[in-house]
Each structure stands twice: as structure tokens, then as C-alpha cells.
């Protein structure tokens, strides 16, 4: 399990130098004193001389911030991280249930034991739970049960039956049709093959896009219902994979549950907080009419049930990339002859959810917030998603508490955020952001998110580009948990795709970056894991397959916390907008290549990026000039200049948002980064431009291509605004 550094070793890092020895009175000093009485210096000179040793003492008595940061990295405890995870995953804790309240109580009690001021925010939100569900294939029913593995020590009887949150209550009967991964392009393939989906029940497999988008795509194609399954090729390790408990793979009866809500936050309070008591609410039907909630029923099923349905489907052979594991019978698209009968009834109710916070107030800039966030609720036990992240967050809290006891105080305020009801659609975090939008707009420095901190080996991270360098530097200070001879950075460089840091999985933390415009980071060990959102995402899986020694948890907490410390403690915020400009230029070229041969011009966008690059260089020069100034200069003036420079670095990201938001998706305000239109799991650079291009390719009308040009100008104006903010002067 590793070891915890001893108290003596920790204290030695912070031991100040000994004070100078006391002077001894001598005859010589007496003579000097007499002489001084004959030639007394002015009072001001006496004050200056007296202050010099005081300043020297102060400068040598208090450790530097970097010393505290080094100490933070040394204060790890594998056993504590494991203990937190075991406690959090002892019971399933779906949002709105009594066990969810128990999990929040554990987080609060842990923070209180560390003497960290904590509080909660509560919201009444619309959640859904299954009342009844059934599925039969040509009159043969499925049991829809996830089977416990032999010796399973966890209370599986408390797990909510498999379902899709916010699924449409109703029935669907019809011939089965296989639609691959349920992407928009998959349904286009079916149409090109002459398939009419009206009145059919679609079978689609998990693995490429968000399940809510699968259901929406099927509904748009005319299907009566949807069954989504976990194919053993994707989650079961293929024909040779060993499943839990012998191996890491999903057992044949395993089911990935999850939400189908395509919006963010409480569906009944779109754009404003669901405060407890009386607040304005809209009917759920408004979300259905807007296409954000399904209008047809759906169910998730296991690999075993999905394969049974697949074997009942005839017709044309499915495309190669829709096929199953090597050696399996060929998949066909239908329709039928297998006939599906699906029924689902859900309970939609207002439930109370609880976000938990710990606040470490900054000394010099208490009104600037560095936020670290992770959600707590889980569909079942949630060992990977999300409680590996919660365990890492509590590990950070413990280390920060120890730093405080040794004299550390952050320059800026650090807020640890533990969200509720995220699995339903980022509900807890979104409601809090909507309630605190204006405060966050003016005060948030950055948001650092880690939900699935550990799903396996390999470090993955993404960030808004001004934080790229900060993220890389942090990984250079942390040891690779899977190769102790290397830093995490070295291993990351060797294995990473290009670009190294990409803005991905935006659904999980876009509530701050894409709604308010807060610089953001997300990171994890492992990228995807086979027992996702299933009964088997438990402590046993983590202890045996995800992180047996809990060293990856420690590394995740170290990188996460170190980034937070640098953002909270450094006098100058470590933001680099030259990297931002370079990334925008690269992304622009990708989109430009997509529309080659058209009249669309990306010149406005390229011009605005050049302006941003010049502004980034200029503010970098300003920073260097301030850093080079002597400590003897006018402190008050310098302090105001530093504050102004940092505020410009913060607010430049806000300038990339637009009050009107993305076209037909106005909650998303950020014009540079946002979710893909047909996949909430995916991410796009310039999402508004990308949406317009996709529509223009389909309709190919002059108006649709003019709209592409309009979106380009719109983004160019936002980037120019960001440049003006960095420059800090009116035109």
C-alpha cells in the first residue's frame, strides 16, 4: 500500500532556519553605545535599520509556497484512499434515495473531521425511477436481471432494477431492426439500404454515442421503441475475455443503465435553479416536445439478451463495423422476423438532492475561486464512476488540512465541490451554477473536474488550452504509478494521441466551461472500462482490476491537487493564451478542409486568431515586466496591476461565450468548445460552425451555406472580444 511520510520528515521540510545568536555585551559594545549617544541618527534611519532584521526574519521563517506544494505531494496515504472508496461503495446510492443521503453524510463527516468548513446546497428536482418494465421476443420474456457473481459481498438486492432514466412511459411492439451503434450516420445507412423503420423496435449497441442520442435518432427515424445492449465485443472482452469475478470484463447478464435526458440540469427548471420550496416549473412535456426527452420507450439489456435478439433478425447482412466478435455469426439488419414487445412505466417525482462543499478561504484574494469538483451519486455502487473521484477528492482534502496545520494559507479561495444527481444529467452542478451564475462569472478562476479518477492504467486529460502547460508541468512532478522509474509526464508523452490534450467528454463538466466560460480541466486514469454503469462497478472490481494498490488514486489526487495549488497560490495565474491561439488555428484548418470547394471563407476566423495571438504575447510581456520589478517598488501599485492582469486572463475565456448560445441549443454559451449536436458525449471545436456545416451538407441550399458563413463571423467576433479583454483597454 506504500507508506505515509513520517511526522519528522514532514516537519523537516518546513523547519525555518535558526535565529541568529544573541549578542554578548562587551566593553567594546559599551564604548560603541556611548559613541552613539554623542552622534544620534535621525528617527527615520533608526526605523529603517530596525526593520531590516524583521524583514529578514519574516522572509526566512515562513516556507515558500513551492515548499508547501512539495510537501503536498509527499502527504499521500494509499490506505486512506482505499478506506474512503470502501465506505462510499458499501451500498448502491442512486440520487434521491436514503443511501444517497448516507453517502453525503459520509463526505460531510470526513470534511468536518479534517476541520474544513463545509456546507450543503439542496434542490428539489425531477428524478425518475422504474415501476415496471418488460421485454419479450416473439412471446418469450426476458428476465432483465443482472446476476450477482459467486461470493458477491455487496447488497445487490438494494440495486434499482435496470432502466433508462427519463424513459418514455409506454409500450412498443414491432419487428426488430438492428441499427449498429444508433448514430445518425447508422440510420442514414439503413435508409440507403431501403429500410423503413416506421413501427419497428430498434436494437442498438452501446459504445459510440450517448444513449439519449441513440433513442432520439431512432425516434426521428420513425421507430416505436429502442433496446440498447452491451455487445460482448465491446464490453465482454470478445470470445476470450474473462468476466467478473475471474476477469475485468462485463458478465453476460451485465447491463449498462443510464439517463436519456439530452439537456442539463432539472428538466422542470430550464435555465434557472430548482430552489427548495416554491419556484417556477415547466411541465415535463415541454422537454419531450423540444426533443430533449424521449417520446418513445426504451430499455437497456445485457449482451446475452441482445445477442438473442440479434439471432432472431434476418434480412441483409449488417456493415462490417457493426459486426460482433470474431467467430460469431454474422449480424443482420432485419426487419424481423424476430418480433419485440417492450413496456416501461416510470415514476417521475420531485426528489431532494444535496451538493456538499468545503471552503478554504484565500488570504490575499478570498473573492477568487479555484473549484475542484466530482459527483457522488451512482447508478449502483459506483467504484469507478464516480467514487474513485470522490475518494481522490477526500484524499486532497486530507492533504490540504495537513498543510493548514503547518502554516499554509492559499492566496485564493479553494472550494471542494461534491455534486449530487449528476448521473441523471449533471443536475446538482447545473442547478448550483444557475443559482450562482453571476458570482461565478465574476469570481471563478478555474474548474478542475475528476469523476472517474481511476478506471485502469494510462493517464488521460483534457483542458481549455490556456491550462495545457500547467497540466503538463504538474504531471512532471508526479511519479507514474505504473512505472516508478518515470514521471507521469514521460509515460503520457509516449502513449498520448495527437493532439496531446483534447477537449473531450464535455457532458461531464461543461456546466461551468460551456455555460459561464470558466477555464476547465478534466483528467482520469484509464479511458472507459467494461463494467460501466453496471452492477459490477464495485469495490471488488477496483481492488482486483482497476487499482489493486490504490497508487493510481494517489497519483490522480496529486496531479489534481497540485494544479489547484498552483492556481490558488501563484501571484500570477499560470494561463497561456498563445497555446490557445495555436489550438484555434489547428481546429480552424480542420473545418476549412471539410468545406473545400465551397464559397465559405475562414478568413475572418484566421484574422481574429492572429489578433488573439498578438494580445497573448503582449500580456505575456506585461507579466514579465511586473515579475522583474524589485520588491522595493510601490507595493500597492504592483498589487493592483497584478490583480488587473490576472482578471484579464480569467475573463478572456468568458468573452468566448455568447448570450444567445449555440443555435437551437442556447444553454451552451461557449462558441469555441461544446458538445456535438448528435452526441452529448462527444466534443467539437467551434460547435456552431460544425452544426451549420453538417446541415449545409444535407440541405445544400444557398441559405444553409450563408448560415455557415454567419457562424464563422460569430465566432470570429467572440475571439476578437477575448483579445480586447486580454489587452485591457477600450478601443
Tens of pLDDT, residues 398-430: 999 999 999 999 999 999 999 999 999 999 999
Please report which confidence band the pLDDT of residue 20 belongs to, taking 50, 70 and 90 as the band edges.
very low
**Alpha carbon distance 668, 504 (integer Å):** 15
**From 206-220, 469-483, 559-573, 622-636, the region with the lowest mean pLDDT:** 622-636
**From 81-95, 104-118, 605-619, 632-646, the region with the lowest mean pLDDT:** 632-646
CA 651 remoteness from chain centre: 21
CA 693 remoteness from chain centre: 27
**Alpha carbon distance 381, 534 (integer Å):** 9
pLDDT at 10: 46
* Mean per-residue pLDDT over the chain, rounded: 89
Please report which confidence band the pLDDT of residue 61 belongs to, taking 50, 70 and 90 as the band edges.
low
Interval 123-130 mean pLDDT: 97
> Cα Rg for the chain, rounded, in angstroms?
29
Reported as a single tens digit per residue, the pLDDT across 300-349 is 999 999 999 999 999 999 999 999 998 899 999 999 999 999 999 999 99
**Alpha carbon distance 345, 167 (integer Å):** 8
pLDDT at 510: 54
**417 bridge partner residues:** 357, 373
* % the chain with pLDDT above 90: 76
Yes or no: say if 379 and 95 are a contact pair by the CB < 8 Å rule: no
Whether 474 shows a pLDDT value over 70: the answer reads yes
Please report which confidence band the pLDDT of residue 29 belongs to, taking 50, 70 and 90 as the band edges.
very low
Tell me phi and psi for residue 127, to 5 degrees: -120, 160
**418 bridge partner residues:** 356, 374
**Alpha carbon distance 249, 425 (integer Å):** 26
Yes or no: say if 390 and 107 are a contact pair by the CB < 8 Å rule: yes
* Closest by CA position to 84, among listed 105, 106, 113: 106
- List the catalytic residues: 422
Q: Do the bridges between strand 479-480 and strand 483-487 make them parallel or antiparallel, or are there none, so unpaired?
A: antiparallel
Tell me phi and psi for residue 286, to 5 degrees: -65, -40
Interval 633-661 mean pLDDT: 87
* % the chain with pLDDT above 70: 87
Q: How many CB atoms lie within 10 A of CB 23?
A: 7
Interval 246-254 mean pLDDT: 96
DSSP-assigned states of every residue in 541-609? HIIIII-TTSHHHHHHHHHHHHHHHHHHH-SS----HHHHHHHHHHHHHHHHHHTTTSS---HHHHHHH
pLDDT at 679: 53
Handedness of CA 554, 560, 565, 571 (dihedral sign): positive
Handedness of CA 682, 684, 689, 693 (dihedral sign): negative
Interval 568-592 mean pLDDT: 95
pLDDT at 370: 98
pLDDT at 277: 80
Whether 55 shows a pLDDT value over 70: the answer reads no
Please report which confidence band the pLDDT of residue 505 belongs to, taking 50, 70 and 90 as the band edges.
very low
Reported as a single tens digit per residue, the pLDDT across 446-455 is 999 999 999 9
Which residues fall within 8 angstroms of residue 82, CB to CB, at 6 or more apart? 1, 391, 543, 550, 553
Tell me phi and psi for residue 86, to 5 degrees: -60, -40
Q: Which residues of 30-53 are buried (b: 16+ CB within 10 A; e: fewer)?
A: eeeeeeeeeeeeeeeeeeeeeeee
Q: Do the bridges between strand 365-375 and strand 444-449 make them parallel or antiparallel, or are there none, so unpaired?
A: parallel
pLDDT at 634: 53
Amino acid at each position: 500500500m506504500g507508506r505515509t511520510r513520517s511526522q519528522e520528515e514532514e516537519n523537516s521540510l518546513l523547519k525555518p532556519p535558526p535565529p541568529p545568536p544573541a549578542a554578548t555585551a562587551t566593553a567594546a559594545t559599551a564604548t560603541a553605545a556611548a559613541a552613539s549617544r554623542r552622534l544620534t541618527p535621525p528617527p527615520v534611519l533608526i526605523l529603517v535599520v530596525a526593520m531590516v532584521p524583521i524583514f529578514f526574519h519574516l522572509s526566512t521563517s515562513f516556507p515558500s509556497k513551492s515548499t508547501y506544494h512539495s510537501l503536498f505531494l509527499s502527504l499521500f496515504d494509499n490506505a486512506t484512499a482505499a478506506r474512503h472508496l470502501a465506505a462510499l461503495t458499501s451500498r448502491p446510492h442512486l440520487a434521491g434515495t436514503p443511501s444517497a443521503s448516507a453517502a453525503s453524510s459520509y463526505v460531510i463527516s470526513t470534511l468536518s473531521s479534517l476541520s474544513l468548513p463545509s456546507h450543503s446546497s439542496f434542490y428539489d428536482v425531477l428524478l425518475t425511477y422504474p415501476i415496471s418494465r418488460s421485454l419479450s421476443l416473439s412471446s418469450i420474456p426476458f428476465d432483465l436481471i443482472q446476476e450477482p457473481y459467486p461470493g458477491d459481498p455487496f447488497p445487490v438486492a438494494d440495486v434499482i432494477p435496470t432502466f433508462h432514466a427519463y424513459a418514455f412511459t409506454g409500450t412498443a411492439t414491432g419487428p426488430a431492426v438492428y441499427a449498429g451503434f444508433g448514430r445518425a450516420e447508422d440510420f442514414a445507412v439503413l435508409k440507403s439500404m431501403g429500410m423503413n423503420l416506421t413501427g419497428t423496435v430498434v436494437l442498438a449497441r452501446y459504445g459510440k454515442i450517448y444513449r439519449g442520442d441513440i433513442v432520439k435518432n431512432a425516434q426521428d427515424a420513425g421507430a416505436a421503441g429502442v433496446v440498447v445492449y452491451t455487445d460482448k465485443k465491446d464490453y465482454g472482452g470478445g470470445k476470450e475475455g474473462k468476466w467478473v469475478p475471474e476477469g475485468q470484463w462485463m458478465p453476460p447478464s451485465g447491463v449498462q443503465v443510464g439517463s436519456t435526458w439530452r439537456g442539463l440540469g432539472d428538466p422542470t427548471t430550464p435555465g434557472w435553479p430548482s430552489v427548495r420550496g416554491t419556484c417556477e416549473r415547466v411541465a415535463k412535456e415541454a422537454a419531450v416536445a423540444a426533443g430533449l426527452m424521449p417520446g418513445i420507450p426504451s430499455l437497456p439489456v445485457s449482451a446475452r439478451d441482445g445477442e438473442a435478439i440479434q439471432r432472431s433478425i434476418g434480412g441483409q447482412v449488417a456493415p462490417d463495423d457493426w459486426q460482433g466478435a470474431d467467430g460469431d455469426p454474422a449480424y443482420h439488419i432485419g426487419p424481423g422476423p424476430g418480433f419485440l414487445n417492450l413496456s416501461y412505466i416510470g415514476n417521475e417525482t420531485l426528489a431532494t438532492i444535496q451538493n456538499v462543499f468545503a471552503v478554504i478561504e484565500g488570504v490575499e484574494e478570498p473573492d477568487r475561486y479555484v473549484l475542484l469538483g466530482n459527483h457522488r451519486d451512482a447508478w449502483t455502487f459506483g467504484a469507478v464512476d464516480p467514487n474513485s473521484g470522490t475518494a481522490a477528492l477526500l484524499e486532497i482534502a486530507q492533504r490540504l488540512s495537513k498543510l493548514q496545520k503547518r502554516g499554509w494559507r492559499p492566496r485564493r479561495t479553494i472550494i471542494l465541490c461534491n455534486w449530487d444527481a449528476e448521473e441523471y444529467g449533471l443536475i446538482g452542478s447545473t442547478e448550483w451554477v444557475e443559482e450562482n451564475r453571476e458570482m461565478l462569472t465574476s469570481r471563478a478562476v478555474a474548474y478542475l473536474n475528476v469523476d472517474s479518477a481511476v478506471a485502469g492504467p494510462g493517464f488521460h486529460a483534457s483542458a481549455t488550452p490556456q491550462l495545457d502547460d500547467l497540466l503538463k508541468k504538474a504531471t512532471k512532478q508526479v511519479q507514474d504509478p505504473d512505472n516508478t522509474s518515470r514521471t507521469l509526464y514521460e509515460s503520457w508523452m509516449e502513449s498520448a494521441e495527437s493532439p496531446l490534450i483534447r477537449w473531450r467528454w464535455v457532458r461531464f463538466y461543461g456546466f461551468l466551461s460551456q455555460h459561464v466560460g470558466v477555464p476547465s480541466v478534466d483528467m482520469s486514469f484509464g479511458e472507459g472500462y467494461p463494467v460501466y454503469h453496471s452492477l459490477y462497478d464495485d469495490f471488488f472490481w477496483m481492488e482486483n482490476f482497476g487499482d489493486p494498490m490504490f497508487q493510481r488514486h494517489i497519483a490522480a489526487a496529486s496531479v489534481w491537487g497540485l494544479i489547484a495549488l498552483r492556481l490558488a497560490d501563484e501571484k500570477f495565474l499560470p494561463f497561456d493564451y498563445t497555446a490557445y491561439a495555436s489550438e484555434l488555428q489547428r481546429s480552424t484548418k480542420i473545418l476549412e478542409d471539410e468545406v473545400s470547394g465551397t464559397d465559405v471563407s475562414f478568413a475572418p476566423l484566421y484574422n481574429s486568431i492572429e489578433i488573439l495571438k498578438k494580445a497573448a504575447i503582449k500580456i505575456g510581456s506585461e507579466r514579465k515586466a511586473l515579475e522583474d520589478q524589485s520588491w522595493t517598488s510601490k507595493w500597492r501599485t504592483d498589487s493592483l496591476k497584478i490583480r488587473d492582469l490576472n482578471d484579464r486572463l480569467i475573463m478572456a475565456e468568458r468573452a468566448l461565450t455568447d448570450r444567445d448560445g449555440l443555435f437551437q441549443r442556447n444553454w451552451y454559451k461557449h462558441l469555441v468548445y461544446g458538445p456535438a449536436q448528435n452526441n452529448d458525449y462527444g466534443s467539437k471545436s467551434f460547435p456552431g460552425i460544425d452544426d451549420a456545416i453538417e446541415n449545409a451538407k444535407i440541405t445544400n441550399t444557398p441559405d444553409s451555406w450563408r448560415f455557415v458563413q454567419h457562424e464563422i463571423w460569430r465566432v470570429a467576433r467572440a475571439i476578437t472580444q477575448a483579445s480586447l479583454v486580454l489587452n485591457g483597454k477600450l478601443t
